[in-house]
């Protein structure tokens, strides 16, 4: 699916999203946000904020910007933001993660929960996340990646043509987000049911002169 088709899919799916993906993905959201060593006033960018299921998990004192392609998903996120904290420290906007309208080094944390296997060009999105993260800041990804086991790999390759119509793929190799210039992997954990998802944390390295 291209970016427009992905956006259309989530536009149509917004009303049902929480019913299907709230509980099943929640342990990974809790662990990801718990793993971010926030300090007062930190700036967090959440890429693919969706219906805002992560928003109530942020501690007081951080400033969150959430972006998403889909305006019906964002409408749900705005509703949830009102419940989360009155909207004082959370800003939401429609934007494509492949080309973000933020300057370089703008955020302390850049977090993509369950987004990387949804976008058509995952590596470009992770590179863009790295661009807007400040040196010393963290890029955090929670996602399902393709299995290394033969049976798992076979199953994912059979199911992916079906799941792609549902807006995501199961067989994305983890290598597609590794080895990017300036992003050093500092943590790699298994999360969620049967530990089938991974939480990856990268630290952005200072630019060498």
* Residue ranges in contact with ligand SAM by CB under 6 A: 3, 6, 10, 21, 25, 29, 48-50, 53-54, 67-70, 73, 96-98, 113-115, 118-119
Closest distance of CB 28 from ligand SAM, Å: 8
Closest distance of CB 78 from ligand SAM, Å: 13
Q: Which two tokens stand for residue 157?
A: 């390759």
Comparison of 49 and 139: residue with beta carbon closer to ligand SAM = 49
Nearest to 73 by CA among 91, 48, 98: 48
Residue 38 and residue 44: Cα distance in Å, rounded?
Answer: 9
Residue 26 and residue 192: Cα distance in Å, rounded?
Answer: 8
Comparison of 57 and 88: residue with beta carbon closer to ligand SAM = 57
Comparison of 49 and 183: residue with beta carbon closer to ligand SAM = 49
Nearest to 135 by CA among 201, 178, 183: 183
Angle at CA 169, nearest 5°, toward 163 and 170?
Answer: 100
Closest distance of CB 184 from ligand SAM, Å: 24
* Contact between residue 71 and residue 89 where contact means Cβ atoms under 8 Å apart: no
Comparison of 29 and 169: residue with beta carbon closer to ligand SAM = 29
Query: Which residues, 6+ apart, have CB-to-CB distance to 156 below 8 Å?
Result: 146, 147, 170, 171
Comparison of 14 and 183: residue with beta carbon closer to ligand SAM = 14
Closest distance of CB 14 from ligand SAM, Å: 8
Q: What are the C-alpha distances in Å from 135 to residues 7, 97, 202, 208?
A: 31, 19, 11, 11
Closest distance of CB 47 from ligand SAM, Å: 6
């Amino acid at each position: 699916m291209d970016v427009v088709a992905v956006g259309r899919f989530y536009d149509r799916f917004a009303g049902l999203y929480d019913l299907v993906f709230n509980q099943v993905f929640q342990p990974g959201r809790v662990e990801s946000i718990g793993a971010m060593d926030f300090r007062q006033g930190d700036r967090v960018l959440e890429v693919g904020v969706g219906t805002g299921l992560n928003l109530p998990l942020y501690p007081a004192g951080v400033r969150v910007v959430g972006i998403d392609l889909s305006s019906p998903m964002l409408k749900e996120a705005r509703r949830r933001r009102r419940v989360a904290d009155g909207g004082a420290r959370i800003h939401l906007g429609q934007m494509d993660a492949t080309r973000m309208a933020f300057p370089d080094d703008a955020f302390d944390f850049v977090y993509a929960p369950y987004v990387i296997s949804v976008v058509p060009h995952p590596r470009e999105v992770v590179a863009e996340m790295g661009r807007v993260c400040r040196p010393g800041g963290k890029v955090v990804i929670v996602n399902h990646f393709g299995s290394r086991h033969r049976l798992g790999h076979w199953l994912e390759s059979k199911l992916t043509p079906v799941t792609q119509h549902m807006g995501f793929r199961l067989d994305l190799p983890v290598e597609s987000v590794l080895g990017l210039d300036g992003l050093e992997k500092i943590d790699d954990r298994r999360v969620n049911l049967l530990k089938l998802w991974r939480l990856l944390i990268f630290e952005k390295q200072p630019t060498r002169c």
